[in-house]
A and B are shown apart, each in its own frame.
Chain A
Amino acid sequence: MSEKSAGYLDMELLRFTTAGSVDDGKSTLIGRLLYDSKAIFEDQMEAIEISSKKRGDEEVDLALLTDGLRAEREQGITIDVAYRYFATPKRKFIIADTPGHIQYTRNMVTGASTANAALILVDARNGVIEQTLRHSYIANLLQIPHIIVCINKMDLVDFSQETYERIKADYQKMVVDKLNIKDVCFIPISAKLGDNVVDASTKMDWYSGTPLLDLLENIKIVDDRNHGDSRLPVQYVIRPQSDEFHDYRGYAGRVASGVFHPGDKVRILPSGIETTIEAIDSFTGEQEVAFTPQSVTLRLSDNIDISRGDMIVDANNVPNVSQEFEAMLCWMNERAMMPRGKYTIKHTTNETRCMIRDVKFKVNVDTLDEVADDKVVALNDIACVSFKAAKPLFFDSYKKNRLTGSFILIDEGTNETVAAGMIL
């Protein structure tokens, strides 16, 4: 195999999300990244050239590449999260392209939940607006480790350094300081013309940083993962029931965080029983180590009753075990939250019922102020809520652990996913 294709086997995966308001040029930016990194194929290009012409556009509208649904193309807007893929020799990228409309904030939360990085788009003509605040707040709430503010449409402000610096300072003051965001960087771009997207701009010599793609290729992501707190939510119990594997019992799951080795002392929750890991099995044999985000099967030294929803954790570092907890909640359904209502809660592989106890405060996402006296939690609201579950959950704070600190609420009547929660 040539060096080029063999090198592909060593690539990392980076997931990022994009956020901006309606006309900030998000879809155009993604179209540009795909086009300039040669991830757009001739037949796709041909198809959007025809569509652009049909609509009477003078130039090819790269946004048509991502707007997949008929209604989106007709209305020229993005309705739902779209996933896009491209690769460079260094990394494979998954883009969650999320709509900027206020009514679709739930989609941004969805796209942000698995992202390693967030691109926040700001229209250079408009500067930091309410939507910018909202998007940044959500990116931070979902603990996306890296935030990249793309100041777009620089071509429409004559590639002015002054405008760029002013927006940067505004963002610093209005967003970064207020939200205490740690990793943020700024890039002046023109998605439409391609400046500083894949190739460095020739019109903004005053900008000393790298183009966007370069940045995406080099962000360090390994360190963002929690390798300290060993947690394996049991997903499925493997019992072959065959002559060859008569007594086999394997506990299958995806390592949520931390590292496991054969011989490690572990504790089983909720029983609290301690045992050791006998082996870590995979399809091709035993492996020496298991770490997040691997899907593995653990065998234990003792025969213990363990089922789906239980958690295997480091015996010396256990999560919180409690029926009561507080969380930041993003409401995602047209039907508002029922005060003291009961919902199904899905947390790791565990599932039980829970009751809303109280709304501590709501967050005004346009000003980022906390509102204490408003108890109505409706679509796209973000609130701090206290809960009581029907049985103990095993959790860490979301800040510490995105997988053992997150949950969804399900309406028991409609079966819809109505809220996303991040445990405090």
Chain B
Amino acid sequence: MKEYNINHLRELEAESIFVIREVAAQFENPVMLFSGGKDSIIMFHLARKAFAPAKVPFPMMHIDTGHNFAETIEFRDMLMEKTGTRIIVRYVQDSIDQGKVAEETGFNASRNKLQTITLLDGIEDLKVDCAMGGGRRDEEKARAKERFFSHRDEFGQWDPKNQRPELWNLFNGKKHMGEHFRVFPISNWTEMDVWQYIYLENIEIPNLYFSHEREVFQRDGTLLAKSDCIPMRPGEKTEKRIVRFRTIGDATCTGAVESEAHSLEEIIEEVAATRTTERGTRADDRRSEAAMEDRKKEGYF
């Protein structure tokens, strides 16, 4: 029976495609959240596979903090244009200008938390009934408890203690008016799976993931990129280092790692040998032990 066996990447792929197709079948107005990071890039790739030769039957949605790496936005626009995909962009700056959120101040100010408001507003304005996200259960311990189909009440909140049981491949997307779902098609992928799959499928990703020279500075054990949106503390000095990024999020809280990995093969070997989690470079998760759980309950990605 060996011939009817598939490797773990193909099995994960089949599972994710199934989930994405379920979303298209069960919801009227779904969107796929797209940040330009590797997880949303593979999720988009899987969506293209799910509906080929037709186009992806829902738009992408980007919650733009304004604190981006220029490379990410260029990459996003290139990919959307090349594939003829519609993308909706909602700006955290707009939420700030409308007085819906107040910008954090101080040296560690981040717009990470503010994104939640912009996201929930976007969902409400556009009558989105399902937002697919690239969250993975291996990223963080609160995410490990997340369902594929995650129900959100009319306030966009997640109730981790009262989740619907999810059995076999039967996904219950039923909801009342005003409620919505978050769906995580790549729940079961690990960081290693993502890299192996990018390699296997030869998927294009932003250059930030590969080793390059960049001006960075140290803060609380994290290497942050020099950027107009991060005020420097007295005594902090930038220097040129050879780095790459393991995750690409908001520039104010995404740390770089020193790395000589110039190719996918080298990245895979680096990931295999590394001894810290990828979110270890994310200052947003370090705020407290339950930082992710608290943000998720409020309606974060």
Contact = CB atoms under 8 A, between A and B. Distances in A.
On whether the two chains bind one another, the answer is: yes
B50 A346 contact: no
Contacts of A225: 4
Given A235-B22, A406-B167, A223 B1 contact: yes
A420 B7 contact: no
Interface in B190-219: 190, 192-193, 196, 199-200
Contacts, number: 201
A398 to B, nearest CB: 10
Contacts of B174: 344, 410, 415
A288 B18 CA distance: 20
A161 to B, nearest CB: 37
A87 B2 CA distance: 21
B24 A408 contact: no
A81 B176 CA distance: 25
Instruction: Name the prevailing secondary structure of the A interface residues.
Output: mixed
A9 B167 contact: no
Nearest to B142: A68
Contacts of A253: 21
Contact of A240 (B13, B55, B175): B55
B295 to A, nearest CB: 13
A11 B193 CA distance: 11
- Most central of A94, A402, A406 by chain B CB within 10 Å: A94
A416 B5 CA distance: 35
Contact of A68 (B24, B144, B176): B144
B90 interface: no
Interface residues of A, number: 85
Contact of B167 (A92, A408, A416): A408
Interface in A219-241: 222-223, 225, 227, 235-236, 238-241
Interface of A: 1-2, 4-5, 8-13, 41-44, 47, 51, 65-71, 73, 79-85, 87, 91-92, 94, 106-107, 109-110, 113-114, 222-223, 225, 227, 235-236, 238-242, 244-245, 248, 250, 252-254, 259, 281-283, 291-295, 297, 308, 332, 344, 346-347, 349, 402-403, 406-408, 410, 415-417, 420
24 contacts: A9-B9, A9-B196, A12-B8, A13-B7, A43-B280, A65-B141, A69-B145, A71-B161, A83-B137, A83-B144, A85-B190, A91-B8, A107-B165, A235-B25, A236-B25, A292-B4, A293-B6, A295-B14, A295-B17, A297-B52, A347-B170, A403-B168, A406-B170, A420-B167
